[in-house]
Amino acid sequence: MKGSEYHEITAYQRSGLASGGRIRGGTPSFFKTYPTLPFYQLPKTPELPSCSLGDVLTGATTLASNELNLSLLSIFFALTYGITATDRTGIYSFRAVPSAGALYPCEVYAWLGGFRDLPHGLYHYNVARHGLEQIATVDSNDAFFEAWITAIPYRSAWKYRDRAFRYVLLDSGHIFEQALVSAKVSGITSKFKEANWTGTYGCRSETAICQRLAVDPHHERPVARVAFAPLPETAKIDYLTDKKELLSASAPANGADYGPVILNAINGTVGEVTIPIAPDISEKLPSLLFQNNAVQVILNRRSRRNFIKGSISADYFESYPKAFSRALPIKGLTVYFVVERVDNYDEGVYELWFDGTRPNLKLTGKGMFMSQLADACLHQMWVSHASFAIVVLLNTEELEKTYGNAGYRVGMLCVGRIGQLCYLLSEALGLGCCGVGAFYDYEVTRVIGLHGGMSAYVLAVGPVKKQVR
Ligand SMILES: Cc1cc2nc3c(=O)[nH]c(=O)nc-3n(C[C@H](O)[C@H](O)[C@H](O)COP(=O)(O)O)c2cc1C
């Protein structure tokens, strides 16, 4: 099934949510673990770097060129996918990135070579224990650092049914962007030549990558790769235990399945697109972004919905399109800003377009649309109290024409990256931000003033009552 078809059949409409409640009988575990593999505890309190988010985004960081060690890896994994908070009951935890329904369908792996006190090998990040489980050894003397993001779709499908693959891709895009930021904050990137950095959405053969990562393709699929120094192609790999045992770790719940629609969508959107990763932003950003420590910003990031209908400065507002240039432009994806309370900006819908890497906003519809948008977001009326909202639309035909079958995934991963940038900027600017994946698809496009296009994501931004910690 093509991505366009999948998106269309999983659209929410008032006449029915095409969902049908949770899948019975199989509550998934949200933490993958390999109990019998060698475990490397990552330091819980590594010395933290002092750069700001502004430094990271503009490439102005002057990071200490530390040796490659477990402390750097601790910062990288904690800031990419680590637990940053637990709820009052202590049962549920939250991570460095947001996730639709807090279901965290993704897993993170890395091929690591040249790190002190860590044998060259393939590792899985054990989120619950903040440590690395060694899956394989790699016979090589090189230094390498190649991270993979995979997804266990059932974790999300359990609640969201067929619509879950959308959320899996958006979540993965959030992690992808966050991995780029964390690698920079940790200083790991300073050890590898920029010319060799590659980001990849998807992969050429999922079967081959599943085999290499030793994950079970029935339950878990690779989604993206971030490589600052790729694993050498000829390196000899030895798995530390029986492949069958390794594969069994991918199963989310007894006999649980995510169904044919997601399976067809996954199989119909396989493909590989390599992108230049994280170009630095050359536009001027607000000075506040250079004042807060990036680590604190990431650790404090949460979804905040308690907006107070306050206005924000044009300077803060304009930092969003500037930051989005890291993930854009790509053909087939359009970003709109629905503005209601931004100094010096008329209320209305603005389309983002790029002149090279320079962002511009064009007013395409004047008026107050936030209440209408909130209503289209399944009546999540807190959206209407935000200063502005970001709406991202896909043109799947264009995406598929440009990137082939993988076009849909490319688009959704980019949208997730924009989402993560939006969360990070908001936290650093003292604003609230919350992503919205639950909406009546065609009503959202109508708010923008369009009859075509597919709604991919909505994010609301504005001043909030108080910080929820
Ligand atoms: C793709 C995506 C879709 C989301 N959709 C909604 C939504 O429709 N409504 C909502 O209130 N929160 C939504 N969220 C926010 C999640 O509920 C939130 O990230 C999760 O509960 C974890 O909390 P945290 O972001 O504070 O760490 C969404 C987040 C993501 C990444």
pLDDT in tens for each of the 469 residues of the chain? 999 999 999 999 998 765 556 665 578 889 999 999 999 999 987 778 889 999 999 987 655 556 899 999 999 999 999 999 998 887 889 999 999 999 999 999 999 999 999 999 999 999 999 999 999 999 999 999 999 999 999 999 999 999 999 999 999 999 999 999 999 999 898 889 888 899 999 999 999 999 999 999 999 999 999 999 999 999 999 999 999 999 999 998 777 789 999 999 999 999 999 988 867 899 999 999 999 999 999 999 999 999 999 999 999 999 999 999 999 989 999 999 999 999 999 999 999 999 988 999 999 999 999 999 999 999 999 999 999 999 999 999 999 999 999 999 999 999 999 999 999 999 999 999 999 999 999 999 999 998 888 999 999 999 999 754 4
Q: Is the CB of 163 under 6 A from ligand 1?
A: no
Q: What is the DSSP string of 360-408?
A: EEEEEEES--HHHHHHHTTT-GGGGGSSEEEEEEE-HHHHHHHHGGGHH
Q: What is the 436 CA–ligand 1 centroid distance (Å)?
A: 6
Residues 182 and 105 in one domain: yes
Residues 73 and 193 in one domain: yes
Q: Is 411 exposed, middle or buried (0-12, 13-18, 19+ CB in 10 A)?
A: buried
Whole-number pLDDT of residue 469: 45
Of ligand 1's listed atoms, the one at least distance from the Cα of 85 is 27
* 280, part of any domain: no
* 211, part of any domain: yes
Token reading at 22: 């949770």
State which of 275, 310, 336 marks the end of a domain. 275
Whole-number pLDDT of residue 88: 84
Residues 216 and 314 in one domain: no
Task: Give the pairing type, strands 454-462 and 432-436.
Answer: antiparallel
Q: What is the 382 CA–ligand 1 centroid distance (Å)?
A: 13
State which of 238, 258, 275 marks the end of a domain. 275
Q: What is the 426 CA–ligand 1 centroid distance (Å)?
A: 15
State which of 258, 275, 292 marks the end of a domain. 275
Residues 262 and 306 in one domain: no
Alpha helix (H) residue ranges in 162-271:
164-186, 206-213, 243-248, 260-268
Q: Which residues of 224-249 are buried (b: 16+ CB within 10 A; e: fewer)?
A: bbbbbbbbeeebebebbeeeeebbeb
**Total-model pTM:** 0.97
Residues 260 and 306 in one domain: no
Residues 138 and 195 in one domain: yes
- Domain coverage including residue 62: 19-275
Of ligand 1's listed atoms, the one at least distance from the Cα of 174 is 31
* 77, part of any domain: yes
Q: Is 25 exposed, middle or buried (0-12, 13-18, 19+ CB in 10 A)?
A: exposed
Residues 52 and 199 in one domain: yes
Of the residues 165, 434, 467, which should be mutated to test ligand 1's pocket, given the most ligand atoms within 8 Å of the CB?
434
What CATH number did the domain enclosing 133 receive? 3.40.109.10
Whole-number pLDDT of residue 48: 80
Residues 249 and 334 in one domain: no
Q: What is the 306 CA–ligand 1 centroid distance (Å)?
A: 14
* 4, part of any domain: no
Task: Give the pairing type, strands 271-275 and 221-229.
Answer: unpaired
* 351, part of any domain: yes
Structure confidence by residue, pLDDT tens digits, 387-438: 999 999 999 999 999 999 999 999 999 999 999 999 999 999 999 999 999 9
Residues 309 and 203 in one domain: no
Q: Is the CB of 102 under 6 A from ligand 1?
A: yes
Residues 218 and 334 in one domain: no
Whole-number pLDDT of residue 29: 87
Whole-number pLDDT of residue 254: 72
Peptide bond into 232 cis (omega under 30): no
Of ligand 1's listed atoms, the one at least distance from the Cα of 302 is 26
Is the CB of residue 169 less than 8 Å from the CB of residue 435? no
Q: What is the 3 CA–ligand 1 centroid distance (Å)?
A: 23
Residues 261 and 306 in one domain: no
Structure confidence by residue, pLDDT tens digits, 313-357: 999 999 999 999 999 989 999 999 999 999 999 999 999 999 988
Residues 417, 94: Cα–Cα separation, whole Å: 19
Token reading at 224: 């993206």
* 210, part of any domain: yes
Q: Is the CB of 378 under 6 A from ligand 1?
A: no
Residues 271 and 402 in one domain: no
Among candidate residues 81, 57, 58, 202, the one with its CA nearest the CA of residue 130: 81
| Structural domains in the chain (count) | 2
* 284, part of any domain: no
Q: What is the 303 CA–ligand 1 centroid distance (Å)?
A: 6
Of ligand 1's listed atoms, the one at least distance from the Cα of 468 is 26
